[in-house]
């Protein structure tokens, strides 16, 4: 990508999109195009086509999506499959119609079967049943992958698909009703500390293992793939290491400085037992994650704490 290339970051206000914008600006890219969801509803096909026609975009980072944790996926399954299908279909098709040079579609490791062997290799896609708690979201993402592959085969487009593992970082969602596990734990421990509560409830048994990638690492990977990856098959983005939720909770408890007890609510589903991605493919290309988990969580909590203090 030339430094003056016109680049559209879809979802620039979110955790992933904002990290991609920061990284592009850091690298010297100056011609970035962004629209909030109020300025451009990506579910509106006509509006998306008009936007691409007017702007003549050269490169697209498709990071816009409706996302959430187990609770949100369970409560709003129709919203998750409908909105994500609309968003990605409209953007991918507009990118084809208006001759975008290259598009990076960001999926999720939830596309892999619930009981797939670990670590998750790219070829495990569509080899087994999905995790029921986020199946609608996963099916939408799988459709996006196939759409990119199909457009490449039929139209000769350059649309690539990357599957990042669980994300965290600046601009994360800390809403306890819709957030993912790591930001939810940060908020729970922080509030319990402020209120002097004796215990904090953790959803599930604490036994499942998860891999966590800082959004700044993901952004670096996205730029790397936009420059160096042309394969029609998906590629994983991850750290290559995971941690049990129980251990993660203990780590965050220590970072926040909470001194109470942990309780585990086993009536709430754990979700997939383990979700560690195989990063052999992206490592072979020359990219590896750089931010250690504890260091990353400390920086996220420091920013979260500052925001909480500023609110009072």
Q: Measured on CA atoms in the order 67, 69, 71, 74, is the torsion positive or negative?
A: positive
Residue 310: its pLDDT value, please? 64
Q: Which of 137, 151, 168, 229 is catalytic?
A: 137
- Report how far apart, in Å, the C-alpha atoms of 120 and of each of 125, 225, 241, 267 are: 9, 19, 12, 27
Residue 181: pLDDT band (50, 70, 90) is confident
The answer, yes or no, to whether residue 170 has pLDDT greater than 90, is no
Which of the residue ranges 23-27, 205-209, 214-218, 303-307 would you say has the lowest mean pLDDT?
303-307
| Domains of the chain, earliest start first | 7-171+211-239+276-291 (3.40.50.720)
* pLDDT one-digit tens code per residue, 20-37: 999 999 999 999 999 999
Query: SS3 of 42, please?
Result: coil
User: Rounded CA gap, 79 and 304, in Å?
Assistant: 28
Residue 214 has pLDDT above 60, yes or no: yes
Q: What is the pLDDT of residue 99?
A: 98
287 is annotated as contributing to ligand binding? no
Share of the chain above pLDDT 70, in %: 98
d(C-alpha 309, C-alpha 292), whole Å: 26
Residues 6 or more apart in contact with residue 71 via CB below 8 angstroms: 177, 178
- Mean pLDDT (whole number) for 136-165: 97
The answer to whether the CB of 168 falls within 8 A of the CB of 211 is no
Q: What's the distance, CA 47 to chain centroid? A: 25
Q: Is 270 annotated as a binding residue?
A: yes
Q: What are the residues whose beta carbons fall under 8 Å from the beta carbon of 95, sequence distance 6 or more?
A: 52, 57, 60, 103, 157, 159
Of the candidates 303, 299, 223, the one whose C-alpha atom is nearest the C-alpha of residue 63 is 223
Across the range 48-54, mean pLDDT stands at: 98
Predicted local confidence at residue 309, as pLDDT: 66
Please say whether the beta carbons of 81 and 237 come within 8 A.
no
Mean pLDDT, all residues of the chain: 94
**How much is the average pLDDT of 266-291?**
92
Instruction: Tell me whether residue 8 is one of the annotated catalytic residues.
Output: no
- The answer for residues whose C-beta is within 8 angstroms of residue 1's C-beta and 6 or more apart is 7, 29, 58, 59, 102, 226, 227
Q: How confident is the model at residue 307 (pLDDT cuts 50, 70, 90)?
A: confident
Q: Is 223 marked as binding a ligand?
A: no
pTM: 0.92
- Tens of pLDDT, residue by residue over 230-255, are 999 999 999 999 999 999 999 999 99
pLDDT at 32: 98
| Backbone dihedral angles phi then psi of residue 265, each to the nearest 5 degrees | -95, 95
pLDDT level of residue 138 (50, 70, 90 thresholds): very high
Query: What's the confidence (pLDDT) of residue 311?
Result: 60
pLDDT of residue 288: 98
210 annotated ligand binder: yes
What's the whole-number mean pLDDT along residues 160-185?
88
Sign of CA dihedral 114, 117, 120, 122: negative
pLDDT over 80 at 69, yes or no: no
* 206 is known to lie in a ligand binding site: no
CA distance 168 to 159: 25
């Amino acid at each position: 990508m030339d430094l003056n290339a016109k680049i559209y970051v879809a979802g620039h206000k979110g955790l992933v999109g904002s990290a991609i914008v920061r990284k592009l600006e850091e690298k010297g890219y100056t011609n970035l195009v962004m629209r909030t969801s109020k300025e451009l509803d990506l579910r509106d096909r006509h509006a998306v086509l008009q936007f691409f026609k007017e702007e003549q975009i050269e490169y697209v980072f498709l990071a816009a999506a409706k996302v959430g944790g187990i609770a949100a996926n369970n409560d709003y399954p129709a919203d998750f499959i409908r909105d994500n299908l609309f968003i990605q279909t409209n953007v991918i098709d507009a990118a084809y119609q208006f001759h975008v040079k290259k598009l990076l579609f960001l999926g999720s490791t939830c596309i892999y079967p619930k009981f797939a062997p670990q670590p998750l290799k790219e070829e495990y896609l569509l080899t087994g049943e999905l995790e029921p708690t986020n199946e609608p979201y996963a099916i939408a993402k799988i459709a996006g992958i196939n759409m990119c592959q199909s457009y490449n085969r039929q139209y000769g487009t350059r649309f690539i698909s990357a599957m990042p593992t669980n994300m965290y970082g600046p601009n994360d969602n800390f809403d306890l009703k819709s957030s993912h596990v790591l930001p939810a734990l940060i908020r729970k421990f922080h509030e319990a500390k402020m209120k002097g509560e004796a215990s904090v409830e953790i959803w599930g048994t604490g036994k499942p293992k998860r891999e966590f990638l800082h959004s700044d690492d993901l952004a670096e990977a996205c730029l790397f793939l936009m420059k160096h990856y042309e394969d029609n098959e998906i590629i994983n983005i991850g750290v290559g290491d995971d941690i049990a939720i129980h251990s993660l909770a203990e780590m965050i408890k220590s970072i926040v400085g909470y001194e109470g007890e942990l309780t585990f609510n086993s009536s709430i589903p754990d979700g997939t037992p383990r979700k560690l991605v195989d990063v052999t493919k992206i490592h072979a290309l020359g990219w590896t994650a750089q931010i250690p988990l504890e260091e990353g969580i400390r920086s996220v909590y420091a920013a979260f704490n500052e925001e909480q203090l500023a609110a009072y």
